[in-house]
């Protein structure tokens, strides 16, 4: 098993309708709207509850539309009740470091696997495959033991270590190496030959030819990596106990205790936690869906 096998799905294929048409498009729309309504409803409920006043948010039966006026000040109140700016800042910092690191390690490794010849390639590739199959659960406890021995993430004097423990384990993933390798394999051999004739080394070729034509794949890796850090929960939950180094999801989880039954505040907080990632999705939808379709990862 030398080749990684991932579902082959091309994005062009996604756009080409081939199934026999259902006669009544009205029927199709009705089903899609009905199920889509159920799918989208929690988002609507989150947004509208975030705008209700406290008493309306705990009214039984709950109101579908806010009847007591809109209360955008909920957002300000929710924002003031927890160090959200810190949570956001931490998350962005961790996500950027992770994404940059992951891109760096993956680009180099993927290039070596795709376009270079060296001894032990098959062996190293098999090792990579093994780490790809190894679930995060396998390393959760040992990494916890190792990290708490090496670092003191919750020590006030060592704030950098608090970030380090959240970044280090994710600086390289087999997944992004595979994804980029697949892309680099499609670089025409003639380009490399031409570069060799021009006297360009591997680094030069990588930088000025391979990377520029691989931007969509790089964006896919970057978005998936960024998205992963934004939604990171279990690892920071066990590693961090101080808000000044905690990321957004852990912060939101803590805020559930702060808010208690003030669901209008909790829903407002959920809204602003979800908003950035939804925006990123709307902007980078093509790349994200492409990445999922091509590789079949599931969070």
Q: Is 283 in the site for another protein (CB under 8 A)?
A: no
- Which ranges constitute the DSSP H helices of the chain? 11-15, 25-49, 54-57, 73-80, 84-115, 121-133, 136-150, 159-167, 174-185, 189-197, 202-205, 211-213, 215-230, 234-239, 248-259, 263-295
Shortest gap between Cβ of 281 and another protein (angstroms)? 5
User: Residue 24 or 157: which CB sits closer to another protein?
Assistant: 24
- On the CB side of 136, CA atoms within 13 Å amount to 12
How many residues in total does the chain contain?
Answer: 299
Binding to another protein, residues 106-145 (CB under 8 A): 106, 108-109, 111-113, 116-119, 121, 124, 127-128, 130-131, 133-145
Of 20 and 157, which CB lies nearer to another protein in the complex structure? 20
Calculate the CA 148 to chain-centre distance: 25
Q: Count residues near another protein (CB under 8 A).
A: 110
| CA 297 from centroid of its chain's CA atoms | 11
**Whole-number minimum distance, CB 225 to another protein, in Å?**
13
Looking at residues 199 to 258 of the shown chain, list those that interact with another protein (rule: CB under 8 A). 202, 227, 230-231, 233-234, 237-238, 248-249, 252-253, 256
Q: Does 35 bind another protein (CB under 8 A)?
A: yes
Query: Which residue matches tokens 């406890």?
Result: 141
Residues 49-88 that bind another protein (CB under 8 A): 49, 57-62
> Shortest approach of another protein to residue 221 CB, angstroms?
13
Least gap, CB of 40 to another protein (angstroms): 5
* Residue owning tokens 């080749």: 3
């Amino acid at each position: 098993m030398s080749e990684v096998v991932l579902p082959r799905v091309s994005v062009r294929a996604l756009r080409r309708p081939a199934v026999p048409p259902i006669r009544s498009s009205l029927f199709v729309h009705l089903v899609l709207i009905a199920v889509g309504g159920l799918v989208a409803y929690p988002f609507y409920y989150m947004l509208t509850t975030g705008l209700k006043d406290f008493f309306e948010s705990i009214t039984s039966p709950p109101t579908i539309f806010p009847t007591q006026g809109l209360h955008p000040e909920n957002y300000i109140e929710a924002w003031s009740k927890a160090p959200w700016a810190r949570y956001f800042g931490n998350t962005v910092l961790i996500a950027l470091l992770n994404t940059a690191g992951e891109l760096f390690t993956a680009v180099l490794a993927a290039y070596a696997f795709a376009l270079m010849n060296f001894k032990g390639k098959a062996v190293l590739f098999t090792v990579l495959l093994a780490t790809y199959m190894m679930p995060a659960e396998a390393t959760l406890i040992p990494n916890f033991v190792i990290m708490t021995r090496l670092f003191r993430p919750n020590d006030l004097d060592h704030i950098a270590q608090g970030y380090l423990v959240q970044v280090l384990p994710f600086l390289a993933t087999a997944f992004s190496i595979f994804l980029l390798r697949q892309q680099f394999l499609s670089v025409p051999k003639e380009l490399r030959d031409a570069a060799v004739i021009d006297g360009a080394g591997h680094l030069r070729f990588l930088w000025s030819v391979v990377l520029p034509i691989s931007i969509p794949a790089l964006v896919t890796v970057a978005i998936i990596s960024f998205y992963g850090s934004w939604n990171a929960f279990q690892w920071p939950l066990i590693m961090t106990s101080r808000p000044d180094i905690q990321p957004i999801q852990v912060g939101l989880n803590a805020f559930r205790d702060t808010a208690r039954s003030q669901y209008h505040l909790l829903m407002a907080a959920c809204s602003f936690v979800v908003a950035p990632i939804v925006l990123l999705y709307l902007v980078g939808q093509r790349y994200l869906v492409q990445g999922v379709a091509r590789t079949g990862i599931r969070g």
